[in-house]
Amino acid sequence: MVLDLWDDRRLVLPCTYFTTTPYQNWTRHGSELLGSVELDLDWRVSPQQMREHLAAILEDTPLYDGRANVLQVTEATGGYVRVRILVTAADAPTLFDLRCYVREAMVLWIQSVLPDAAPTQRVLVTEQGAPGRKRKAEQAGEGGLFSGSAEAEERASHFTQAIPRVDAADADAEPEVDAEPDADAESATAERRRADQDAPRP
């Protein structure tokens, strides 16, 4: 089987490849696709203004099919805020061009309208010997995802329900032994002894 690639190359694959290797069929029920554009920006970025500008960008391009567009902040770590934009297009080639168009339009808009939102490396410079700002001592919180509250304990029970929880005191304690003899067991033993005595001997 010969596949046409996006850069006009041809990829030749044996038919057994499709019976032994998992693959994605993007066009079984339709060619519409959803793609993402991610930007790492400064903490001074305004997601609301970016959403408004995204709507204006999509209105001016025929690449967008009008099905869905979403802008969300997915991470805020390492000194940056990661903004993810989701857009839809009629097919894979159109989606690729739409993602590039949206990315370029957002970069140009940030440079001209929100320059403070551009990624920035900050260095804190202080005078030698200047005292640092003091803060009130804090204690680590005891509440966790699976402990510290009734809701957390209930959440943990979903993962440990099949495993019995044994306290250390109960594990070290010796099992209780019934001191009273079993009457049924003694009666059965006595009957076996009488049967052995009454049995004829060779």
Range ranked top by mean pLDDT from 25-34, 133-142, 161-170: 25-34
- Write down the residue that tokens 């979403």 correspond to: 70
- The secondary structure of residue 145, as a DSSP letter, is S
* Domain map (residue ranges) of the chain: 27-117
3-state secondary structure of 176: coil
Q: How far apart are CA 187 and CA 181, in angstroms?
A: 11
Distances (CA, A) of 54 to 43, 117, 184: 19, 16, 85
**Mean pLDDT score, 89-114:** 92
Structure tokens at 112: 């001209």
Q: Which residue has the higher pLDDT, 121 or 154?
A: 121
Say yes or no to pLDDT of 168 above 80.
no
Are 106 and 50 contacting, i.e. CB atoms less than 8 angstroms apart? yes
Structure tokens at 107: 């970069």
Where residue 3 falls among pLDDT bands split at 50, 70, 90? confident
CATH class of this structure's domain 27-117: alpha beta
Say yes or no to pLDDT of 67 above 80.
yes
Are 103 and 54 contacting, i.e. CB atoms less than 8 angstroms apart? no
In 3D, which of 165, 173, 168 has the Cα closest to residue 147?
Answer: 165
pLDDT value at residue 59: 93
